[in-house]
């Protein structure tokens, strides 16, 4: 991070996959599906010059990508992890259980934002993961990222808790506030993630 003083506020989101899931919705001309190695060049363009090189590299790891494609062009995507994954914003680690997944590094390309693609992508991911036996999805947004929060809300994710992290020189503090009504299981998962 490199700064002497740093503060970050994260909202954790959870999607229970054990209950009814509304249909993900459709976008004419678009296909929402897990990405394959053949999609790496299209994803690299969508991820942009700074991050594009990560597309092919991540596909060689145990991460997966889920992508919304339009005529071969990747217009919206999220990365999925099923094992411990760094939460870059807070220098933390989230550890999904074997029947859970963590969604991170999502984007809709700038010229297609505000057209409702992200909620369809997130809902398609929920169906995909439920069909593969997953019971819960985790994700996190910064408190400032209202666009992403709206996407999660529209896709039926619930707020699980909020984490306030502060660091000044060698001192750091983390304060976790659970949403009212969060279960003990959610609390334990978040405490573990927030270390
Ligand atoms: C967050 C993001 C993925 C949402 O994708 P999207 O396909 O535009 O999602 P939606 O169309 O459902 O729009 C979600 C919200 O974005 C906001 N929005 C609308 N038009 C927008 C635009 N042109 N640019 C940015 N945000 C816009 C609105 O608040 C909208 O909610 P509303 O429809 O209730 O008003 C996208 O804005 C993005 O890629 N942002 C940069 C990367 C990022 O923040 N990733 C998420 C990290 S957790």
Which residues does a 6 A CB cutoff place in the pocket of ligand 1?
76, 106-108, 113-119, 141, 145-148, 150-151, 154
Of 94, 114, 115, 121, the one to substitute when testing ligand 1's pocket (max ligand atoms within 8 A of C-beta) is: 114
pLDDT digits (tens, 9 = 90+) for 50-96: 999 999 999 999 999 999 999 999 999 999 999 999 887 777 788 89
CA dihedral 165→78→122→174, nearest 10 degrees, is: -10
pLDDT at 195: 59
Q: Whole-angstrom Cα distance, residue 56 to residue 61?
A: 9
Question: Which residue has its alpha carbon closest to ligand 1 atom 14?
Answer: 147
Question: Which residue has its alpha carbon closest to ligand 1 atom 16?
Answer: 147
CA 131 distance to own-chain centroid: 18
Segment 135-164 mean pLDDT: 95
Q: Which residue, chain included where needed, has tokens 């989230």?
A: 94
- Of 37-51, 59-73, 90-104, 170-184, the one with minimum mean pLDDT is 170-184
Q: Which atom of ligand 1 is nearest to the CA of 116?
A: 11
pLDDT digits (tens, 9 = 90+) for 104-131: 999 999 999 999 999 999 999 999 999 9
Q: Label residue 25 by pLDDT band (50, 70, 90).
A: very high
Pick the CATH number of 4-194 from 3.40.630.30, 3.90.730.10, 3.40.50.10680, 3.30.830.10: 3.40.630.30
Q: Whole-angstrom Cα distance, residue 134 to residue 4?
A: 40
Strand partners, 34: 66
Q: Name the phi and psi angles at 4, rounded to 5.
A: -75, -30
């Amino acid at each position: 991070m490199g700064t002497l003083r740093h503060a970050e506020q994260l909202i954790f989101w959870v999607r229970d996959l054990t209950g009814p899931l509304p249909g993900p919705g459709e976008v004419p001309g678009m296909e929402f599906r897990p990405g394959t190695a053949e999609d790496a060049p299209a994803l690299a363009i969508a991820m942009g010059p700074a991050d594009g090189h990560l597309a092919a590299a991540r596909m060689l790891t145990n991460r997966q990508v889920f992508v919304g494609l339009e005529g071969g062009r990747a217009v919206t995507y999220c990365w999925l992890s099923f094992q411990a994954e760094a939460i870059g914003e807070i220098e933390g680690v989230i550890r999904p259980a074997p029947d859970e997944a963590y969604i991170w590094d999502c984007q809709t390309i700038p010229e297609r934002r505000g057209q409702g693609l992200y909620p369809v992508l997130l809902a398609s991911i929920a169906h995909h993961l439920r069909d593969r036996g997953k019971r819960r999805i985790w994700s996190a947004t910064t408190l400032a990222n209202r666009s992403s929060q709206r996407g999660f809300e529209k896709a039926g994710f619930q707020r699980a808790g909020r984490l306030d992290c502060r660091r000044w020189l060698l001192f750091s503090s983390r304060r976790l506030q659970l949403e009212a009504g969060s279960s003990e299981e959610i609390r334990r998962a978040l405490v573990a993630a927030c270390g």
